[in-house]
Structures are given as C-alpha cells and as structure tokens.
Amino acid sequence: MTIDWFILAPAAFFAGMVDAVVGGGGLIQIPVLLSAFPQTSIPTLFGTNKVSSIAGTSAALWRYARAVKIPWGLVLPTTATALVGAWIGAALVAWISRETMRPLVVILMLIVAIYTFVHKDLGQDEAHEPAAGDALRGACFGLLIGIYDGFFGPGTGSFLIFGFVRLFGMSFVRASASAKVINVATNISAIGFFASHGPILWTVGLVMAACNLAGAQIGTHLALKHGAGFIRKAFIGVVAILILKQLNELF
C-alpha cells in the first residue's frame, strides 16, 4: 500500500493547528484519509483519525492548562456526562437516521454563527467565575453534547466552546482550554470503540499524530498570544465552513 505522506502529513499539521484553537480538525483529516484510503473501512479510518487527533489535543490541553485557569469543578462533571452521552448517542444510531439531524444541525450552527458575529463582546472577557449550581448545569450540558457527538458529531468542539462562553460566562480562551479536556476524554473513548470494530492504521496514525502535535503547538501559541479576539474570528470561520459542508451534503 503506497502512502502519500506529502498530503497526509501537512493535513495533520494544519488540522492540529486549527483544532488547538477552535476544534474542527476532523474537517481536514477525515476527508484526506477517505481520499488516501478509499478501500479502507470507515471504522479503521475514523479510529486512525482519533489516534492522530488525540496527540494534538493532549498537547494543546497541556499548554492551555499551564497558562489558563481551567474551572475543574465545572469541567470534570461535564466531561463525565459527555462520555455517558456519547455512548447513548452511539446507541441511538440504530433507532434514528443521522440524516434526520442534518437540517437541525445547520439551523443550530447558523444561530451560533450569527449570535457570535452580532455580539462582538461575547467571550472577550470572563463574565463571571463558575457559580453554585454550574456543576449540575455543566453535567446536563455535557450529557447533551455527548449524545450529539456519539450520534452525529460534526461541530462538537464548536458547540462546546460556544456553550462554555454563552452558558458559563467564559472567555473564548478559557472555553477553548476547557473544551480540550472533554475532547481528550471522548477521543480516548472513541479510539477504544473504533479499535474494537476494525484494525487501526497505527503507522499512519502515529506519524500523523506527530504532525498534529506540532501543529497544535503553533495553534495554542497563536491562541494564547492573540487572545479571545483571534479565537472568536477563527471560531466564526470554522462554523461557517461547517455550515457550508452540511448544506452541501444536505442538498
């Protein structure tokens, strides 16, 4: 099997850079993997994508955690319920067609994009520190996000960041850092799931992981250096691309 590293390596690097800022690295890696290995099963490619992604996400989390105060009392319950929700969402696939979700997801993304664009000050500064009751609200939020991620998936990172900003008053920088905790946990869960449903391309995944990690270092540096304004613009850009992608697949 001939592997085109000149496409896979840059794609993983750029995916890591984008993912470290606002999520959405799968938008880059998955189409490239599908194109490079057209005869390979979907679980194998999705698992390979997660092996690559988790390296960059973990590196980004490490750098964010050293520079940003992550509200663990809120984030950990959100992470725990997101993992439970992802399992529930995956089970729902047997009962409901994913295609029924696509129009709703497009509408939700449009609302998120327009709301973020109109509210210029959204997520520029911390609105407030986590309050009493936020852990419970976070757990409910994590459960919903997890169900969505397990059932459908596209835009999960963007919905996470928007939720942390809008519901819990975080800045975009802190929201991006907090989202990485959940991303790492769900990636580990996904690797376990996909590895049990098909062989993962470990050589491809590990080489792409190294490139993804390098990209994540640069993405995190840019996010921390340029702050919430930079992340806000990147966030709107990624959500816009997600909307266009979903509309293209819908029509």
Range picked from 42-51, 137-146, 180-189 for highest mean pLDDT: 137-146
The confidence score (pLDDT) of residue 77 equals: 95
Flag whether pLDDT at 94 surpasses 70. no
Does pLDDT of 198 surpass 90? no
CA distance 226 to 220: 10
Band of residue 224 on the pLDDT scale cut at 50, 70, 90: very high
Q: What would the DSSP string read from start to end of the chain?
A: ----HHHHHHHHHHHHHHHHHHS-THHHHHHHHHHH-TTS-HHHHHHHHHHHHHHHHHHHHHHHHHHS---HHHHHHHHHHHHHHHHHHHHHTTTS-GGGTHHHHHHHHHHHHHHHHH-TTTTTS------TTHHHHHHHHHHHHHHHHHHT-TTHHHHHHHHHHHHH---HHHHHHHHHHHHHHHHHHHHHHHHTTS---HHHHHHHHHHHHHHHHHHHHHHHHHHHHHHHHHHHHHHHHHHHHHHHHH-
From the list 80, 210, 237, the residue with the least C-alpha distance to 145 is 80
pLDDT score recorded for residue 114: 92
pLDDT confidence tier of residue 249, bands split at 50, 70 and 90: confident
